[in-house]
Amino acid sequence: MLIDTHAHLDFPEFAGDLDAVLARAAENGVGRIISISTDLESTGRVLALAARYRQVCATAGIHPNHVRIDQPDFLAELRQLASRPEVVAIGEIGLDYHYLPSRTEKEDIVRSALGAASLGSVELEIQDEALKAAQAAAFEQQLELAEELDKPVVIHQRDAWDDTLAIVRKHAVRAVFHCFSGNAAQAGEVLDLGHLVSFTGIVTFKNAAEVKRTAAALPLDRFMVETDAPFLAPVPFRGKRCEPAFVRRTAEAIARARGIGIDRLAEQTTATARAFFGLNDSVSRG
């Protein structure tokens, strides 16, 4: 059995055929799917999915790209949601500097975060720092919540490696760095802190040789596999909607790179995921 440790089943891409998507996952040996939250509304949706489908588990968290400079208080509501037994982790949370005002061309994201139409370079740099501070504050609050509730953490970081690690080091949490695409040295930093990484279909891409080498070199019990569906479909499905069934392609690619059978890799990554998320019959209901 495989566990897809990171998918967004509540996203609109799955609204029309989720039953079929889950059936295909089961046909490909995917017995559990962790449906990841991105904000308070998303948390409500993934909780509803976990209640409806035996193979789905939920997380609760605010994705950094959903954090605003004038972020309203979310902690009380998030605590209430995250305290539910169906929630197996806090996440995805972290830092994302890819869409900072001075860097992004996606004006809808800028306007949503800033409430501004256009700014000069100096003003953009000021807004960069303000948005970084807001993300860091939300990240810290959610890490503290994870400590309070004794739940593991699913971390998102993009273009913010050093700052993310600096914050994580301050907290006694168990974390997985999802969609890991760094090098072996960076993976070593994560593992040295006692945390895990998780690999997506990126390991099947032709231009991702370093990620594949990293996946081949890590201890077998220190990583998990995921799809990040509906994003990052593996070869040969690139450009199409990704879905949990495709986690098998990722697992097969890593198994080949390591020179082991898919059954061995599936057995260990499943055991790692069960231990990390605390999966058992009462939680995963299947």
The 10s digit of each residue's pLDDT in 230-254 is 999 999 999 999 999 999 999 999 9
Mean residue pLDDT of the chain comes to 93
- Is the pLDDT at 134 greater than 90, yes or no? yes
How confident is the model over 271-284, as pLDDT tens digits?
999 999 999 854 33
98 Cβ partners below 8 Å, 6+ apart? Answer: 104, 158, 159
The third-level CATH classification (topology) of the domain covering 2-284 is TIM Barrel (3.20.20)
Decide: 226 and 4 in contact? Cβ < 8 Å.
yes
- What is this structure's pTM? 0.91
Distance CA 5, CA 202 (A): 15
Q: What's the pLDDT score for residue 86?
A: 94
Query: What's the pLDDT at 133?
Result: 96
pLDDT(107) > 80: no
What average pLDDT does range 205-222 have in this prediction? Answer: 96
**Which pLDDT tens digit goes with each residue over 21-58?**
999 999 999 999 999 999 999 999 999 999 999 999 99
State the pLDDT at residue 283.
Answer: 38
pLDDT band at 106 (very low <50, low <70, confident <90, very high): very low
Q: How far apart are CA 35 and CA 56, in angstroms?
A: 6
Q: Give domain limits for the chain.
A: 2-284
Q: What is the three-class DSSP state of 245?
A: helix
- Label residue 43 left, alpha or beta by phi (over 0 means left) and psi (-120 to 50 means alpha): alpha
